Amino acid sequence: MYQKKRIVCIIPARDEAQAIQQVISGLQALSDDNGHSIIDDILVCDNGSTDNTATLAHAAGAQVITQPQLGYGIACLTALGKAKNADILLFIDGDNAFSATQATPLIHTVANGADLAIGSRTLGKMEQGALTLPQRFGNRLASLLIRWLWGATVTDLGPFRAISQGALNRLAMENKTFGWTIEMQVKAIQQKMTTVEHPVDTFRRLGHSKISGTVNGTIGAGVGILSMIAKLYWRQDKHNPKEVRVPNSRNISSQMKVKNEH
């Protein structure tokens, strides 16, 4: 619990045997000023792993859900189906690229009224090799497209984030693949939700990436993200042809607010 709110963490994972227990133990160690655990439940969605990710996650104390259909989004959606009575959902990858200690500011921000808190890798410190050149380029391109199409300033589309259950319900998430994170952020902009960015540090992942580590994975992720942007804009244009774009300001609730803690 954190400020009397139930916190559930979701970890989509595929072949993360090298890192999953470190990620889980880091989350379990999070505590508030009174020494009480912050994370109430940790749900790992084993997304078609060929190693012993699921066994190790269970041994570490996480609840494990299996989803054989590959896809980041469907793994998250499957885990959400098992997230009972959550007030705040925390999302983090199972590759140990992030420090669990930096989850607390994200959770705190949502617990105190924000709808969505994004861990921005761009604003934080980054270990050399933590992100590939295609990842950096794709992230930058998507951020520019969001600014151009919706007038909102975003610095990152990273997976490390927290969101209130109420906000998540209103977003009606549906993407089953690589467009999950951008769907969440764009829909939050469209619905004028309060979104806050926090800098998070990024480290070289443990194990081999199934996305950035392969040509097909990199291309697939890029296509998925761009198609999600196009889909969301087309829907908006179709249903709200006279809609005015959100002003480019960080001081209104529909914009990304940036907290620089470094």
pLDDT tens sequence across 216-237: 656 777 788 889 999 999 888 6
**Dist CA 127 CA 46 (whole Å):** 27
Looking at residue 253, its pLDDT comes to 42
**Threshold 0.85, pTM exceeds:** yes
Q: How many beta carbons lie within 10 A of that of residue 250, not counting itself?
A: 12
Looking at residue 259, its pLDDT comes to 64
Q: Regarding predicted confidence, which is higher, 84 or 66?
A: 66
**Dist CA 125 CA 72 (whole Å):** 25
Strand 41-46 to 7-13 pairing = parallel
Domains of the chain: 7-258 (3.90.550.10)
Looking at residue 260, its pLDDT comes to 56
Q: Is the pLDDT of residue 257 over 50?
A: yes
- The region that residue 259 occupies, defined by phi over 0 for left and psi between -120 and 50 for alpha, beta otherwise, is beta
**Dist CA 18 CA 16 (whole Å):** 5
Side-chain-facing half-sphere of 146: CA atoms under 13 Å: 26
Under 8 Å between Cβ of 78 and 14? no
Confidence band of 12 (pLDDT split at 50, 70, 90): very high
Across the chain, mean pLDDT equals: 89
Nearest to 163 by CA among 80, 99, 232: 80
- By mean pLDDT, which of 156-170, 174-188, 231-245 is the weakest? 231-245
H-only helix segments in 112-250 = 133-150, 165-171, 180-190, 215-239
- By mean pLDDT, which of 64-68, 87-91, 212-216, 256-260 is the weakest? 212-216
Q: Is the pLDDT of residue 15 over 50?
A: yes
